[in-house]
Amino acid sequence: YSLAEVALVTPMRDGMNLVAKEYVASKVDKRGVLILSERAGAARELSDAIIINPTDMGQLAEAMHEALVMPEDEQITRMTAMQALVKRYNVFSWTKLFMNQLAYTKMKQHTLATEMLTPTVTTQLLADYHAAKQRLLLLDYDGTLVGFHANPQRAEPDQELRHLLRALAEQPNTRVVIISGRDRTTLDKWLGDLPIDFITEHGVWLRAAGQEWELFQALRNDWMRDLRPVLELYVARTAGSFIEEKDFSLVWHYRRADADLGEVRARELLAHLSFMTANTDLQVMEGNKVLEIKNAGIHKGAAAARWLAAYPADFMLALGDDRTDEDTFRAMPPEAYTVRVGTGARSLARFNIGSPIEVRQLLRKLLA
């Protein structure tokens, strides 16, 4: 290093490249020229080097000539600046930077953490429920009232759940709303005879108890014939995945696919669909082992807000388990009890509960 008048460092791809920095650090007399590939991470710091594209042979030759004929005073100026940078950003500086960033990340995690629904909180929730004059319960279905099933059509409600929902809905001044991404036909078949409200397909179809189904707003579905072939391509490439077609949305399910392959294909499909739906009135939503393409602006939160306006309540409880339920939590007023089902995920919900089993236990306590 100390003998070399020019250092030529030309990686095609390099995270940092310490050779370039070692060369700079060794030049005690500050004479010497560094030629550095723009594809090395160090190029973002050592801007006083001659930066080149390593695949451009003409540029490389010109850089070598420039280095060999560079005046001594310019060499000293460039090397002094690079040495100051190398000295400043030493191993201790990098360690401090990383540790500070980790500490900041952990602090942000704590601020976004959701409190567990402890016995103390549960006691207060029950007291508020029984003291309320009007109650509104917004309940997600899959992953909240029932566990997930490899075949979504086999996740039908058991008799216990049906009796529980009926008992809650028949309590005075209590509205029970199933707010789900499922299609209205399935939920109507499973629970339509109960005196409860429905918000289905993430807010597309609405039905208050005893009334007819209505659309949240006029929607179009002519785009489905263009995007379905894309989903069919990923079904062919991902064993175990399948397509669900709703009235105004398409869903790609990969719960039955190999876990690793499913996640890889989901990321690929998400990127593909995001590109295709850019600058359109469509959106791509991620759920629990699903990707859904639907009309933009229609989501659980918008429908929940409509229910909150139509049926004011002084006790509100919203339960959900995945990203689509975050829209519901966002729409709820601060005093509402919002509960995320499952552990580990950050959420806008105030509280967290472990599983659908615990959800049913909580709902049974409301009847006590």
Residues with active-site annotation: 140
Among 41, 58, 60, which residue's Cα sits nearest to residue 50?
A: 60
Beta bridge partners of 249: 294
Alpha carbons 199 and 176: distance in angstroms, whole number: 11
At residue 366, what are phi and psi to the nearest 5 degrees?
Answer: -65, -25
Rounded to the nearest 10°, the torsion over CA 292, 297, 300, 302 is 180
3-state secondary structure 186-252: HHHHHHCCCCCEEEEHHHCEEECCCCCCEECCCCCCCCHHHHHHHHHHHHHHCCCCEEEECCCEEEE
- 70 residue type, one letter: M
| C-beta contacts of 67-76 below 8 A and 24+ residues apart | 67/5, 67/6, 67/33, 67/35, 68/5, 68/6, 68/33, 70/33, 72/31, 75/30, 75/31, 75/32, 75/33, 76/30, 76/31
